[in-house]
Chain A
Amino acid sequence: MQTQLVPLAAGELNPLLPHTVEIVLSLVVFGILFFAVSKFVAPKFEEIYTERTKAIEGGLAAAETKQAEADAKLAELEKQLADARHEAARIREEAREQGAQIVAEMREQAQTEAARIVDHGKAQIEAERQQAVTSLRAEVGTLATTLAGRIVGESLDDDERQSRVVERFLADLEAGTPGSGVN
């Protein structure tokens, strides 16, 4: 069994002690990188950020304006629609009233006409009846006289007498007391 103690090849190195060139080099390299980045890189990234934020905000504002416009237009259209509905209802109501009025007028007219026709008819009938009564009376008188003359054989040529008899007869007839006549 062997035991070996192996020291490091080089002398005792203390890694905490700095290589001065490295200190300077790291500062120089970092410094150059920092200036390059803050001149060429960081402003561009910031610019992109700003532009994008602006674009998004602008888009939002535009969308809001559009939305407001659309809302206004919709309200207007709805108002117009309501007006149109109202108008239509009004016209319908008016038409209904007019219709009713027309019907009433026509009915009245028809009734008047009917009454007129009826009156006219009645008058005509009355006139015709009067005419018939007059002619009948004349005829009946002649007939009766002729007949009576034949039957009685009495001369009835006396017109005055004849007329008187007939009148009496007819008057009796009208009074409803037949039989009290000449015979």
Chain B
Amino acid sequence: MSGIGSVIIRSEGGEGSGGESFHAPGPADFDLPAIGGGHDTFSMFGQDFVAGVTKPMLQIVLAGVLVFVFFYLASRKRAMVPGKLQFVGEEAYGFARNSLGRDIIGSHDFARFVPYLFTLFFFILLNNLFATIPFIQFPTFSRSGMVYGLALLSWVIYNAVGIRKHGFLGYLKLQCVPSGIGGPMLLLLVPLEFMSNILVRPVTLALRLFCNMFAGHLLLILFALGGEYLIVEMGGAYAPVGVLAWVLFALVAFLEILIQFLQAYVFVLLNAMYIQGALADEH
């Protein structure tokens, strides 16, 4: 982490001597101040946190409200021949229901998980898209705490589903003891399976989403601020490089939209697969 925290800038003789040196963006750029200008902090895990309502907190509430309002309006009429809004709503619901739910979990059990998967997908998707939407432009899930909550929930859900179906020991056996293997190999495999299926899953689930959002946003800040610095502070021969940085900013921003969608999809897809694995009779 310390590598991100500092950067070396070489500046030639007289040029840019009047300007400030370049501050590379880092984790501090994600530590947004409290809205309303409060400066209170609280300390936890040996780190100071802002005490107060911050922008990502508002965003996550806004996302919840928007997702509900949109789909509520889309589903309200229940027309046999759908209008535009209802059509979009039905397509979105059908996507989550069929490709994330039914195709992964299987047509026998999927129905009761559809609301969860559907909500989760569009909730994450909208929060990710906030990174691109003008005037918001901050990915909610670049705050690790936001992701940990959802990853924890996923972990609780798929384990609970498995334990409910197979019983506690039966579920542990299902997840940790590979079928068709016996003898001393089990001594090696059982801990590994336990690690990968029970312990590591929520961590990778959280880190995948968080790191993608974090790194993508960091990259965009770097291109934006770096380009600005090259043009405004250094100028001269550096200006075209700054323009190039801005062009790259635009291109990467489009790539980010794809990543925002993919990460939401992968998060929910893995949720569905974990649930399917927990429900499986044999694996």
- Residues of A whose CB lies within 8 Å of any CB of B are 1-27, 29-30, 32-34, 36-38, 40-42, 44-45, 47-49, 51-52, 55
Question: Residue A22 contacts which of B10, B21, B146 (CB distance < 8 angstroms)?
Answer: B146
Jot down 30 A-B pairs with beta carbons below 8 A, ordered by A.
Answer: A1-B10, A5-B8, A6-B6, A6-B21, A6-B23, A7-B5, A8-B26, A12-B5, A15-B144, A16-B144, A16-B210, A17-B44, A19-B143, A19-B145, A22-B145, A23-B145, A23-B149, A23-B152, A27-B152, A29-B63, A34-B116, A34-B120, A41-B75, A41-B115, A42-B115, A45-B89, A45-B93, A45-B97, A47-B78, A49-B94
Please give me the 9 A-B residue pairs with the lowest Cβ-Cβ distance, nearest first.
A22-B145, A18-B145, A26-B149, A38-B115, A44-B75, A19-B145, A13-B27, A42-B115, A33-B64
Question: Please, which residues of chain A bring their CB within 8 A of the CB of B149?
Answer: 22-27, 30
A51 to B, closest residue via Cβ: B80
The answer to whether residues A21 and B5 also contact, given A13-B28, A37-B71 and a CB cut-off of 8 A, is no
Question: Please, which residues of chain A bring their CB within 8 A of the CB of B120?
Answer: 30, 34
The answer to whether residues A52 and B80 also contact, given A27-B153, A30-B153 and a CB cut-off of 8 A, is yes
Q: For residues 67 through 122 of chain B, which have their beta carbon under 8 Å from a beta carbon of chain A?
A: 67-68, 71-72, 75-76, 78, 80, 82, 89-90, 93-94, 97, 114-116, 118-120
Q: What sequence of 0s and 1s flags, for each residue 147-168 of chain B, a beta carbon within 8 Å of any chain A beta carbon? A: 1111011000000000000000
B61: Cβ under 8 A from any A Cβ: yes
Contact in complex: A32, B93 (CB < 8 Å): no
A17 to B, closest residue via Cβ: B45
Question: Residue B119 contacts which of A15, A34, A44 (CB distance < 8 angstroms)?
Answer: A34
B1: Cβ under 8 A from any A Cβ: yes
Q: For residues 166 through 194 of chain B, which have their beta carbon under 8 Å from a beta carbon of chain A?
A: none
B22: Cβ under 8 A from any A Cβ: yes
What is the distance, in angstroms, from A47's C-beta to the closest C-beta of chain B? 6
Question: Please, which residues of chain A bring their CB within 8 A of the CB of B24?
Answer: 6
In the bound assembly, the distance between CA atoms of A17 and B30 in angstroms comes to: 12
In the bound assembly, the distance between CA atoms of A37 and B49 in angstroms comes to: 32
**Interface of chain A, main secondary structure:** helix
Contact in complex: B89, A22 (CB < 8 Å): no
Question: Please, which residues of chain A bring their CB within 8 A of the CB of B45?
Answer: 17-18
Question: Please, which residues of chain B bring their CB within 8 A of the CB of A13?
Answer: 26-28, 31, 47
Question: Residue B60 contacts which of A26, A40, A52 (CB distance < 8 angstroms)?
Answer: A26
What is the distance, in angstroms, from B164's C-beta to the closest C-beta of chain A? 18
In the bound assembly, the distance between CA atoms of A11 and B27 in angstroms comes to: 10
Question: Please, which residues of chain A bring their CB within 8 A of the CB of B261?
Answer: none
B47 to A, closest residue via Cβ: A17
Question: Please, which residues of chain A bring their CB within 8 A of the CB of B5?
Answer: 7-8, 12
- Count, chain B residues at interface, CB 8 A: 66
Contact in complex: A14, B143 (CB < 8 Å): no
A4 to B, closest residue via Cβ: B21
A18 to B, closest residue via Cβ: B145
Contact in complex: B150, A26 (CB < 8 Å): yes
What is the distance, in angstroms, from B75's C-beta to the closest C-beta of chain A? 4
Contact in complex: B146, A6 (CB < 8 Å): no
Contact in complex: B150, A15 (CB < 8 Å): no
Contact in complex: A6, B22 (CB < 8 Å): yes
Question: Please, which residues of chain B bring their CB within 8 A of the CB of A26?
Answer: 60, 145-150
B57: Cβ under 8 A from any A Cβ: yes
What is the distance, in angstroms, from B14's C-beta to the closest C-beta of chain A? 11
In the bound assembly, the distance between CA atoms of A178 and B132 in angstroms comes to: 162
Question: Please, which residues of chain A bring their CB within 8 A of the CB of B97?
Answer: 45
Question: Residue B68 contacts which of A19, A27, A41 (CB distance < 8 angstroms)?
Answer: A41
B56: Cβ under 8 A from any A Cβ: yes
B237: Cβ under 8 A from any A Cβ: no
In the bound assembly, the distance between CA atoms of A112 and B200 in angstroms comes to: 126
